[in-house]
Amino acid sequence: MSAVAIFPFSKASRGRELRNRNPPARYSNVVYTPGPDGLPYGSYYFRGRPSSYVEIPNRGTLDVRSCVTILAWIYHQGHAGPIVNYKRNGWGVHLWMVNPKTLFVRYTQRIGRRFTHALAYRGVKPHTWQFVGTSYNRNTGVAKLYINGNMVARRKIGKISLSTNYEIRVGARQGDRRYFRGRIACLQFYSAALTTNMIRRRMKACFRRGK
């Protein structure tokens, strides 16, 4: 299953994504730090401030209205804030840390941006790299949350069209006082609900070889 976008968030990529199907991400007040592969400059460090964010333009490729999988490596340092938030100043589909240990996703409906029931998992470990993700399949109406390649939450939210027709904010959402603090690397988007085995195979999608 091919990705619609993979953003390494590394110094080498400088905001570009690996498939070259999307404009580069724009970053503000983030710094390069070691990534989950242990090599230097392999992630962005978000400072937990309103000025510290990445914005990803959406020219249509990232508009995955029927089915989606979103994956990323995070090293969370305790602040609530967005990992992915479609719409810079509103609520499209959004994947957040909502407290030091809770991963949260809500699949907003496209028409009227109405909320569905959220999913949450309260076992995220702060101050360590973890591979987090979520998927939604309109054919089944089921949404899922994943940690390190394991499904940790599942809920039937119904067959909807997703609110993914906006730009994406990482780290900070306009008009919100919650800001992600920590590192994020290898942000991935797929236009399908990947299986558990498929998600596990993508854990090293951005890893580089050491010297």
For the chain, the domains span 3-201
**Does residue 186 contact residue 36 with C-beta atoms inside 8 Å?**
yes
pLDDT reported for residue 181: 97
Q: Which two tokens stand for residue 6?
A: 């993979």
- Distances from the Cα of 138 to the Cαs of 55, 88, 158, in angstroms? 27, 25, 7
3-201 CATH fold: Jelly Rolls (2.60.120)
How much is the pTM? Answer: 0.96
Integer Cα distance of 157 and 147 in angstroms: 20
pLDDT reported for residue 210: 53
pLDDT reported for residue 1: 61
Q: Which two tokens stand for residue 173?
A: 């959402």
**Does residue 65 contact residue 90 with C-beta atoms inside 8 Å?**
no
Q: Which of 23, 19, 15, 20 is nearest to 2 (CA)?
A: 19
CA dihedral of residues 173, 178, 184, 189 (deg, nearest 10): -40
**Does residue 37 contact residue 61 with C-beta atoms inside 8 Å?**
no
Q: Which two tokens stand for residue 164?
A: 């993914």
pLDDT reported for residue 211: 44
Average pLDDT per block of 10 residues along the chain, 211 residues long: 90 87 92 95 96 96 95 95 97 96 96 91 96 97 98 97 97 96 97 97 87 44
Q: 102: how many CB neighbours lie within 10 A of its CB?
A: 14
**Does residue 185 contact residue 9 with C-beta atoms inside 8 Å?**
yes
